[in-house]
């Protein structure tokens, strides 16, 4: 039986999530020029929308998995994970307000992501989430280094740390689930994952091109960094799969 340590993750989210609502933003007004502030606020409003979903489908999928041996704790971990994403939504809403921007209720790529997540089972839903999180890792990393506003830097730094944990959470889940497949099927999964991620990175780079420009990042640079982040993720995932196979063969 291969599973993941859902209890540890539940505890992690319960301890970490309240820190996001407690995070204080620097009190001073935003000093960025309008030409920088506006594209930043518009771009962040799109990410804010992506963090605000209710997670209904994800919870339903996770509840279905709970019947399998060793997965009874997963729905609770997913529940806390969704709560953490929603805390990102609240944090980003405060940041968009700080930048003088307005929140969005609809956006094409966000709607597309939600539809795709509902298409197939839990593994596909997690894959689509993970794809967005890998892109977010690069995006928040760039904001943290380049935005030049203390509030943006503080929020981007905190969300970046959380998303790095989320990547580990999804990796632990996928490693446990992919172990049920043959090595050839695992390779095929990794291949399609990299392909879907590459297409997503192209779409995000184009969608956020104005924000990237004011950060001094070209869209091709964003795509390249996203590809590097994805390759690193897949390398670690394959390493974990190989280690688990070896452990299984020994025990
Ligand atoms: Fe998030
Ligand atoms: Fe996340």
The domain locations on the chain are: 6-22+31-250
The fold of the 6-22+31-250 domain, in CATH, is: Ferritin (1.20.1260)
150-165: per-residue pLDDT in tens? 999 999 999 999 999 9
Shortest CA distance to 141 belongs to which of 202, 62, 14, 229?
A: 229
57-84: per-residue pLDDT in tens? 899 989 999 988 889 999 999 999 999 9
> What distance in angstroms lies between residue 167's CA and the mean position of ligand 2's atoms?
7
Q: What is the pLDDT of residue 176?
A: 92
Contacts of 152-158 spanning 24+ positions with Cβ under 8 A:
152/40, 152/95, 152/99, 154/23, 154/25, 154/26, 155/23, 155/25, 155/91, 155/92, 155/94, 155/95, 158/19, 158/20, 158/23, 158/91
109-152: per-residue pLDDT in tens? 766 666 665 557 888 889 999 999 999 999 999 999 999 899 99
Q: What is the pLDDT of residue 29?
A: 85
Contact 184, 239 (CB under 8 A): no
Ligand nearest to the CA of 89: 1
Q: How far apart are CA 206 and CA 218, in angstroms?
A: 10
**108 C-beta neighbours (distance < 10 Å), count:** 10
Average pLDDT across the chain, whole number: 91
Ligand nearest to the CA of 87: 1
> What distance in angstroms lies between residue 50's CA and the mean position of ligand 1's atoms?
8
């Amino acid at each position: 039986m291969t599973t993941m340590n859902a209890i540890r993750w539940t505890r992690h989210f319960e301890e970490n999530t309240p820190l996001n609502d407690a995070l204080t933003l620097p009190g001073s007004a935003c000093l960025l020029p309008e030409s920088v502030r506006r594209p930043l606020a518009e771009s962040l409003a799109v990410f804010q929308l992506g963090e605000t979903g209710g997670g209904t489908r994800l919870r339903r999928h996770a509840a279905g998995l709970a019947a399998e041996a060793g997965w009874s704790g997963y729905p609770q971990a997913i529940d806390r994970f969704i709560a953490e994403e929603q805390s990102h939504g609240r944090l980003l809403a405060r940041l968009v307000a700080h930048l003088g921007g307005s929140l969005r209720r609809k956006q094409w790529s966000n709607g597309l992501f939600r539809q795709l997540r509902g298409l197939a089972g839990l593994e596909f839903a997690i894959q689509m989430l993970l794809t967005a999180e890998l892109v977010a890792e690069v995006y928040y990393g760039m904001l943290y280094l380049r935005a030049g506003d203390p509030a943006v830097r503080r929020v981007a730094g905190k969300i970046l740390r959380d998303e790095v944990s989320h990547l580990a959470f999804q990796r632990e889940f996928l490693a446990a689930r992919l172990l049920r497949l043959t090595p050839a099927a695992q390779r095929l999964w990794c291949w399609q994952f990299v392909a879907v991620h590459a297409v997503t990175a192209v779409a995000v780079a184009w969608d956020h091109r104005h924000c990237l420009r004011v950060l001094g990042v070209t869209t091709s640079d964003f795509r390249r960094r996203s590809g590097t982040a994805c390759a690193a993720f897949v390398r670690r995932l394959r390493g974990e799969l190989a280690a688990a196979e070896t452990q299984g063969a020994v025990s």
